[in-house]
Structure 1
Amino acid sequence: MLGLEAWLSLIGPAYFAYIGIAIPFVVVWAIICAALWIWNNRPSKRQGPPRSWPASLTFFVVVAACYVAAHTAVYLLVRYLAPLWA
């Protein structure tokens, strides 16, 4: 289940789409949100073995790809619906 910060991060692409900002800003926003999620859920905060550097990088790439996909979907949905609201 996604945490609160993951759900709140979806406000950014919705706002960007509503005001008409380009998609590269959404991708940067998604990568920053993924980095913050990784930082807030790092193994050193929990009891468990630390991950190796390649495993951590792979995990970050997978999480960032998921964030980019979700943020792009929200962006495109709001971009499509924005003219209908105005």
Structure 2
Amino acid sequence: MSVHHFDVTGFFAQINNQSSTGPFFELTSEITFAQNRRDIKALDKIKQKIEDGGVQVPQWLKFKLELAYAWALRSNDKISPEMKKK
């Protein structure tokens, strides 16, 4: 499974908690897919979608996006000071 950069545990955790992540399940999947491909342009589009969406996004999803950037860039430059504190 690691050959395909597929987080089995995370995947099944999301499936089990689908009712709580329902509205954000697709965004979560997009973030994971872009992260695994190290696709910065896709992450930028997701970030823009979140910012323009007019929907209150949970903190865990913002954190997941920042971690995806950190993984893809191999840098913590895109991690907010608030998240760095946590």
TM-score after normalising by structure 2 = 0.37
Q: Identify the structure with the greater helix proportion.
A: 1
Q: Name the TM-score, length of structure 1 as normaliser.
A: 0.37
Max radius of gyration: which structure?
1
Which fold has the larger relative contact order, with Cα–Cα distance below 8 Å and residues 6 or more apart in sequence?
A: 1
